Amino acid sequence: MKIILTHDADSIAKPIEHILARHDRFTKQDLKAAEKGTINLYNNIEEIVELESELGFHSTFFIPAFLFNLHAISGTLKRIQRKGSEVQLHYVHEQHPQYEGLFAMQKDFFMELIGPVDGVRCHNLWVTEALLKLFHDNGFHYDSSYRAETVNTVEPFAIHENLIEIPIGIMDTDLFGRFHFTEKEAWKYILKELETAKDHRSQSFTLLFHQESFRMKGGRLYAKLLKHFAQQGYECICCCDVPLVQKAKEQ
């Protein structure tokens, strides 16, 4: 079984007042560095890629065009693309009669700054049949917005002709924001879900950890998980390496 590594970016910076109000999320060392301004606790993209590269892993980053100023990290994103990371669109849906126009704006802006869009994940995993059709009509080859629990499988599958769905096996914010797990409980839960997928002879399992949670309580499990995957001999890939996605791109 392969592990598909993915990250969303919902923010890349927060004011120091915001950080101090949530000081219990961070280590004392990180807080001190943040107060001095020597570290940005909410932008961990390059650290994540460095750690993954050391272990021979690749991942996909879903980056929004609308949640923050994309210019601020376009250089970073180009650098990680050169290192073999995949960067795709984190689509932000607004319940608005002009949502198709807003979608086109996000896609065009992303393409201008980052490059071609092949895959998408909806912010807050807010996805509908109409949106899947929109992604399909725009030539996207995959979506990764459904939880495995919604579509009853952890395995990628064709959800439309030439549009592959890559279901999310585990999302960090479900573990800590919904289940309110401790790190110990979350670790146990993740390993159990992986075992279940293996028992069902699944070919792959998709993980979503937000990039901004990398230094936070809970999100810190990601680094520990990567080491675990390396020790266990798992191959960790990005979405564009999923065989069904490659096949869809060839057609």
Q: Of the listed pieces 5-13, 138-146, 211-219, 243-251, which binds Zn ion according to CB under 5 A? A: 5-13
Q: Of the listed pieces 48-56, 80-88, 120-128, 176-184, which binds Zn ion according to CB under 5 A? A: 120-128
Exposed/middle/buried for 239, CB within 10 Å: 0-12, 13-18, 19+?
buried
Pick 123 or 194: Cβ nearer Zn ion:
123
172 binds Zn ion (CB under 5 A): no
Q: Of the listed pieces 43-51, 99-107, 123-131, 183-191, which binds Zn ion according to CB under 5 A? A: 123-131
Q: How many residues bind Zn ion (CB under 5 A)?
A: 3
10 binds Zn ion (CB under 5 A): yes
d(CA 223, CA 52): 9
CB of 91 to Zn ion, least distance (A): 9
Q: How many CB atoms lie within 10 A of CB 181?
A: 18
Q: Print the binding letters for residues 180-199 with Zn ion: x by CB under 5 A, - otherwise.
A: --------------------
Q: Which of 8, 155, 165, 212 binds Zn ion (CB under 5 A)?
A: 8
**DSSP letters spanning 184-208:** HHHHHHHHHHHHHHHHTT-SEEEEE
Pick 120 or 226: Cβ nearer Zn ion:
120
CA distances from 114 to 36, 67, 89 (A): 31, 16, 10
143 binds Zn ion (CB under 5 A): no
CB of 228 to Zn ion, least distance (A): 25
Exposed/middle/buried for 76, CB within 10 Å: 0-12, 13-18, 19+?
middle
Residues across the chain: 251
Coil, helix or strand at residue 174: helix
Q: Of the listed pieces 97-105, 119-127, 153-161, 189-197, which binds Zn ion according to CB under 5 A? A: 119-127
7 binds Zn ion (CB under 5 A): no
123 binds Zn ion (CB under 5 A): yes
Q: What share of the chain is helix, strand, coil (3-state, %, to 5)?
A: 50, 15, 35
Residue 108 CA to chain centroid, in angstroms? 21
Residues in contact with Zn ion by CB under 5 A are 8, 10, 123
